[in-house]
Amino acid sequence: MILDDILKQTEKRVAQLPAAFPESPERDRVSLAAAIRNRHGKNAIIAEIKCASPSRGVIRRNVDMAMMAGVLRDGGCIALSVLTEPYFFGGTCKDIARVKSAVSLPVLRKDFIIDEHQIAESRALGADAVLLISAILKKRLPYFVDMVLDYGLEPLVEVRSAAEAELALSTKADLIGINNRDLSTLGIDRSTTKNLSGRVRYDRRLVVSESGMRSADDIREMKEYCDAFLIGSSIMAHEYPGKKLEEFVCA
């Protein structure tokens, strides 16, 4: 299963991390939750700078991270997601600094977090928020949410089932991402967001619908069920990423 392969590589990366990280320069973190709430009547899109994926292979070659960050900012996204997983998604930890040097938007570190050292690393890299995947962390999720908050970052907790949603709601996470992609099969089912969003919103958390948005019609279909969208492949595969993003923002 592809997720098992990704986690094996992640374990190898974690084993090479230093015992401690230098403190990142003092700066105010930019709130992802606040950016979603203050979207000024437009669709809140977290644009993901994604160079490759297991389901699509290479999506875009030779990406200038700083330049792409500026293009997507100008296209109207409220935040940027930066993939730092190198083997399956073509990312690198250095990409966060490159993006932060170009824009003042919130930056989400998207990776497969399995160890507390990755949280310290995320802060040192300059991330504002960190993705935590419930299916990976399971019973350790509340501990990792608390740790992310203790480091002054925001956790975006990803869920795919009712049980995972309940676990996420037992934590202090304000942001719940509902992944329409099954990590075991890589298949897409947007009804996942439709089925889980009501319970999450009942608990006054923000819902981020992840994966499977290909057109403005998809956004119009789904926006009553969520507060924001995380979109990567559809934007990055387009000849003009900023123009494609604008379609989502204004749908």
Is 210 one of the catalytic residues?
A: yes
Tell me yes or no: is domain 30-250 CATH 3.30.1330.10. Answer: no
Judged on CB neighbours under 10 Å (0-12, 13-18, 19+), 12 is exposed
pLDDT of residue 26: 61
Q: Are 179 and 210 in contact (CB under 8 A)?
A: yes
Provide the total of helices (H) and of strands (E) in the chain, helices listed first: 13, 10
Where is 134: in which H helix or E strand? helix 134-137
50 an active-site residue?
yes
Percent of the chain as helix, strand, coil, to the nearest 5: 45, 20, 35
138 is catalytic: no
Instruction: Please say if 180 is a catalytic residue.
Output: no
Domain locations in the chain?
30-250
- Which residues touch 14 (CB under 8 Å, ≥6 apart)? 114, 115, 117, 118
Q: Are 160 and 135 in contact (CB under 8 A)?
A: yes
Q: What's residue 55's pLDDT?
A: 82
Residue 211 is a catalytic residue:
yes
Residue 139 among the catalytic residues: no
CA pair distance 196, 186, nearest whole angstrom: 19
* Letter string b/e over residues 116-129, b meaning 16 or more CB atoms within 10 A of that residue's CB: ebbbbbbbbbbbbb
- Cβ 248 vs Cβ 43: under 8 Å: yes
CA distance 133 to 138: 8
Residue pair 47/90 in contact by the 8 Å Cβ criterion: no
* pTM exceeds 0.85: yes
Q: What is the pLDDT along the chain (251 residues), one digit of tens a residue?
A: 788 999 999 999 999 998 888 776 666 789 999 999 998 889 999 999 999 988 888 899 989 999 999 999 999 999 999 999 999 999 999 999 999 999 999 999 999 999 999 999 999 999 999 999 999 999 999 999 999 999 999 999 999 999 999 999 999 999 999 999 887 777 889 999 999 999 999 999 999 999 999 999 999 999 999 999 999 999 999 999 999 999 999 99
State yes or no: is 8 an active-site residue: no
**pLDDT of the residue at 56:** 85
- φ/ψ of 115, rounded to 5, equals -140, 145
**Per-residue pLDDT at 21:** 85
Burial (CB count <10 Å: 0-12, 13-18, 19+), residue 224: exposed
For residue 210, give Cα distances in angstroms to 22, 29, 116, 143, 220. 32, 23, 24, 23, 15
pLDDT confidence of residue 25? 62
Rounded CA separation 192/178 (Å)? 7
Q: Which of 158, 164, 246, 247 is catalytic?
A: 158
8 A C-beta contact, residue 175 and residue 205:
yes
The single residue of 210, 233, 234, 247 carrying the catalytic annotation is 210
